[in-house]
Structure 1
Amino acid sequence: MEALERFLNKFIGPIAQKMNNSKFFSALAEAFMRTTPITLGIALLMIIGNFPISAWIDFLAKTGMNVHFNAALGATINLLSVYVTFNFAYIYSKKEGHDPLPAGLLAIGSFFLLMPQTIQTYTLEKTVTEFPAQVVVSASNNVEAFASNYTGGSGLFVAIMVGYFTAILYSFFIRKNLIIKMPDTVPSNVSESLSPAILSGIILALFFIVRVLFSFTPFGNIFEFITTLIQTPLQALTGSPIAIILIYTLANTLWFFGIHPNMVYGVVMPVMTANLLANMTAYQQHRELPYLTMAIVAFVCGNAFGGQGSTYGLVISMFTAKSERYKQLFKLAGPPVIFNVNEPLIFGMPLMLNPFFFIPMIASPLLMGSVAWGLLSILDFSKYNPLIALPWTTPAPIVMALKGGFNYLIIFFIVLCINILIWYPFFKMADRKEYELEQEIAQELTK
């Protein structure tokens, strides 16, 4: 244990510290975090519009209300890349000490500038009814529009790049004094809006050049280039349940030694988010979910079972506590864990750097994720609904019941039993040691 701790502190610790101090990673994490008002704000409508009752879904379809619920989704989740673009440029520029609003607006403008703005439509010319039947279609005029697949999950990598480079260029040009300085008599709102005019023109011109250059490639635009060569392979990698299990195991290992798991999540979360958005798009189009297994395994391995480390099983084991210390800690730290807030356990028990709990911290994602993966081959998840989104503090059984119905609840109860079995023997060892120590202290006091 000591050798492993020394290794992590020597090799992983400096990397984690550098990433924590990096404006790029801190701004990126905050950019996704600040989309919460959108992603959670739409949660109630998403639940109503996709409540897992067949009669309700049929009613919405017959009355045409499903179109309006889909529009609400399109204006929020399917525009996630746009929000991330703005947030990233805004937050990064703010960290650099500059007025962040122009940077955010420039990032959005640059993002849409890179995007294809026409969609080809087709018309039916004729249908041949004789066997074999044939349908003849012809291309019609192009329609000016932005494709929503670029504003959702498929555009996340471009969004990150555009937000980052816009902020970098914006800060660089400000340092080079490429701003218009207005007299003090000019109102501040006018001065602030005109001062970045020169650098704005340069930044937009640079992204215009990028757009033109990619138009001469076989991909046609930067979105297709990124999707084909970078995003799709990474999505396939993180779409693997084995990769998901290893990612969460690594995160728990680092967290045990005091290294925040954001070091791992900051790298893989954009790709995992793109996978989840791909599931939503496929569900809306009545197609098979491409990353169903990944979504379920990630949920089971992640923070949904009582926070980082899946501490539901630990809290349930604490019902049997004999030591006064753990009895009191159960009263204080137990209720928050129901809502996936387990910092009182991480730092108060503590779980961090506690040899008793190293194995359950590491084993939880390995065993729970593997069992959930195996159950997916037995249970029917054709009615799993990825559009239902709830706050991360929502207890796991509620989320699972709404998204996957009874079969998902089966996974919950089986995995919860495994989670308890993982934590129970190690908690009993820690509790026994603490109880014996309390008895020794009590005997000393009575002498």
Structure 2
Amino acid sequence: MTNLMEKFASWLEEHFLPIASAIGNQRHLVALRDGFIATMPVSMSGALVVMFKEVIFTSESLFGTMLNKLSFYAENIQPVLDRTLVPVLEQMWWGTLALGIIFSVFTIAYKLAEHYKQDALSAGVLAVVSYLILLPQAVEGGEWGTISWTSFNSEAIFTGLIVAMISTEIFNWVVNKGWTIKMPDKVPPAVSKAFSAMIPAFFVLTFFGIVSVCFQEGLGIPMQQFINNAIQVPLTKLGQSPFTFILLVFIAQILWFFGLHGITIIGPVLDTMYSPALAANAEAIMIKGVAPTNAITRNMLDLYGMHGGSGATLALIIAIFLVSKRTEYKSLAKMSLMPGVFQINEPIIYGLPIVLNPILAIPFIIIPPITVFIGWLFTAVIPFAGFVYIDPPWVVPPVLNAFLATGGDIKAAILAFATLVIAILIYMPFIMIANKMEDSI
């Protein structure tokens, strides 16, 4: 089995690794990844707000329903929360997740401009302005200057990403042509940069002004709506196929085998395809008051496939405690346990190691696709666990994160625990093999 695994690894290294490395270094994907990461404080804050509101503070929330059975709480405390705390949480959600695409437009353009070594601040501001130029000046039937919030919600994600990249590419192209205003050396740098950006800004904004009119007047539809219908909706539907999701997860695990951070490389694809699904689920609950419709979201992988981090390594640690006879494994497992509980698994991945390990790499690669499929099966096909619509911080421990991500659904927590147990059972025989093959690992 070891020789077969080594031959397979050699084949992957020759044919697959160069492609993966190229994808991991592709500037637009790197800008997507870093841009999304830069918005993490905002998105995490918004996720916490939704979590508190939907799990604790409203009368319809999990704990709110129980507490409101007490007449004193229902008559004296809940009305105060409804007038004070709940409106605060709703406004915080509105300014973070509901309008979140505008922040991503800025950060993605900023990061791409950094790659080109251009004025990143100007590029980010121009991208936001370019996006606003594309919006119709009035909602249908409304007054001039009325902008629909759907221009910034889950339906606008792909448009925002495209605008951020195109505006920055135009900005970079114009600057490289030398079409800039050059100020004397004694002019303060901030002023000099502002003047240098004036001509590139004119090109960028003029381009999007023309595009906006072409779509609205020529096609009779705003660009954002056109892209949503033509690209985002079909791609989101494709992403709701479990086979698409599982394939991406499998590729990420293969990359880890070679020491590459699989989720970092595949992350931009996952974020692009599945962030709209999570946002749409949240909007269904928060705005429309209806059941969410997207079974697969970006963080479904974390809930059911990544217990303790990539490869479900918390399950590996538990399996080591249960069946390993190797003292070095047990010592490393003790050191890695607490980080693993909080989804930090680099100590166990590089300490055993799992990288280029012909035995432990097998369960590491196959467990997330298997457990994610089980999570999807008992969410979309067998209606056991609730749909995910909250994105808890990534450091929330396994099982608890599933409970919070579904607004307090205990069945989702049970499903997450079941997939953790399955992961442990898959790891155990490979740990037993490792007991007998000390020299091969």
Give the TM-score normalised by the residue count of structure 1. 0.85
CA distance, structure 1, for counterparts of residue 166 and residue 296 of structure 2: 34
Q: 1:185 to 1:420 in 2, by over 3 A?
A: closer
CA deviations over 1:25-45 (Å, ceiling 9, x no partner)? 211110011111111233443
Partner of 1:433: 437
> Do residues 415 (structure 1) and 419 (structure 2) align?
yes
Structure 2 partner of 1:335: 338
In structure 2, the partner of 1:116 is 136
Gaps of at least 5 residues in structure 2 are 56-61, 69-73
Match of residue 98, structure 1, among 80, 102, 118: 118
Alpha-carbon separation, structure 2, partners of 1:360 and 1:225: 43
Does the CA-based 8 Å contact 1:283-1:385 persist in structure 2? no
| 2:19 pairs with one of 15, 18, 39 | 15
- Based on CA coordinates, which of the two structures has the bigger radius of gyration? 1
Distance 1:39 1:107 in 2: 20
Moved more, 344-353 or 143-152: 143-152
| Conserved 8 A contact 1:85-1:160 | yes
Structure 1 segment 201-350 matched on structure 2, within 5 A: 201-218=202-219, 220-261=221-262, 262-284=264-286, 285-294=288-297, 297-303=300-306, 305-320=307-322, 321-350=324-353
Q: How does 1:128-139 map to 2 (within 5 A)?
A: none
Given the superposition, is the C-alpha separation of residues 380 and 437 from structure 1 closer, same or farther in structure 2, using an over 3 Å criterion? closer
Residues 13, 259 of structure 1: 8 Å contact kept: no
In 2, Cα distance between the equivalents of 1:371 and 1:219?
44
Contact 1:120–1:143 (8 Å) recurs in 2:
no
CA distance in structure 2 between the aligned counterparts of 1:167 and 1:37, rounded to whole angstroms: 24
CA distance in 2 between partners of 1:349 and 1:203 (Å): 51
Once structures 1 and 2 are overlaid, which stretch shifts more, 18-27 or 422-431? 18-27
Spell out, residue by residue over 1:297-346, the C-alpha distance to the aligned partner (whole angstroms, 9 max, x if none). 5344443x111111121111111332121121112222211111111221
Closer/same/farther in 2, CA of residues 294 and 21 from structure 1, 3 Å limit: closer
Deviation of the 1:144 alpha carbon: 2.3
Amino acid at match of 1:149: T
Aligned to 1:126: none
Residues 420 and 220 (structure 1), Cα distance of their counterparts in 2 relative to 1, 3 Å cut: same
CA separation of 1:296 and 1:393: change in aligned 2, threshold 3 A: closer
Q: Could you tell me whether the CA contact under 8 Å between 2:102 and 2:128 is conserved in 1?
A: yes
CA distance in 2, matches of 1:395, 1:117: 45
- Residue 334 of structure 1 aligns to a residue whose secondary structure is helix
Q: Which residue of 2 aligns with 1:73?
A: 93
Q: Which shows bigger deviation, 353-362 or 87-96?
A: 353-362
Measured after TM superposition, the shift of residue 234 of structure 1 is 0.7
Task: Show the counterpart of 2:361.
Answer: 358
- Is 1:49 the counterpart of 2:53? The answer is yes
Offset of residue 406 of structure 1? 1.5
Equivalent AA in structure 2 for residue 337 of structure 1: G
- Using the TM superposition, name which of 395-404 and 78-87 deviates more: 395-404
CA distance in 1, matches of 2:53, 2:234: 33
Query: Partners in 1 of 2:281 and 2:107 — Cα distance?
Result: 24
Q: Residue 65 of structure 1: CA displacement?
A: 4.9
Q: CA deviation at 1:248?
A: 1.1
Counterpart of 1:358, as a letter, is A
Alignment RMSD, CA only?
Answer: 2.5
Aligned residue type for 1:231? Q
Is the Cα contact below 8 Å between 1:363 and 1:422 reproduced in 2?
Answer: no
SS in 2 for 1:75: helix
Instruction: Verify the 8 A CA contact 1:326 1:431 in the aligned structure 2.
Output: no
Q: Aligned-pair distance for 1:379?
A: 5.1
Q: Displacement of 1:242 after TM fit? A: 3.1
Q: Which letter does structure 2 place at the counterpart of 1:417?
A: V
Q: 1:42 to 1:269 in 2, by over 3 A?
A: closer
Partner residue, 2:175:
174
* More strand per residue: 1
- Separation in 1, partners of 2:187, 2:82: 58
CA contact (8 A) 1:106 1:204 kept: yes
Unpaired stretches in structure 1, ≥5 consecutive residues:
122-140, 439-447
User: Which secondary structure does the structure 1 equivalent of 2:389 belong to?
Assistant: coil
Q: Judge conservation of contact 2:239–2:296 (CA < 8 Å) in 1.
A: no
- Which residue number in structure 1 is paired with residue 32 of structure 2? 28
TM-score using structure 2 length: 0.86
What is the number of residues matched between the two proteins? 415
**2:12 counterpart letter in structure 1:** L
CA–CA separation in structure 2 for the residues paired with 1:266 and 1:296? 13
Question: Contact between 2:278 and 2:388, CA under 8 Å: does it hold in 1?
Answer: no
SS at structure 2 position matched to 1:118: coil
Between stretches 335-344 and 190-199, larger displacement belongs to 190-199
For residues 118-143 of structure 1, give each alpha carbon's deviation from its aligned partner in whole angstroms, at most 9, with x where no partner exists: 1235xxxxxxxxxxxxxxxxxxx435
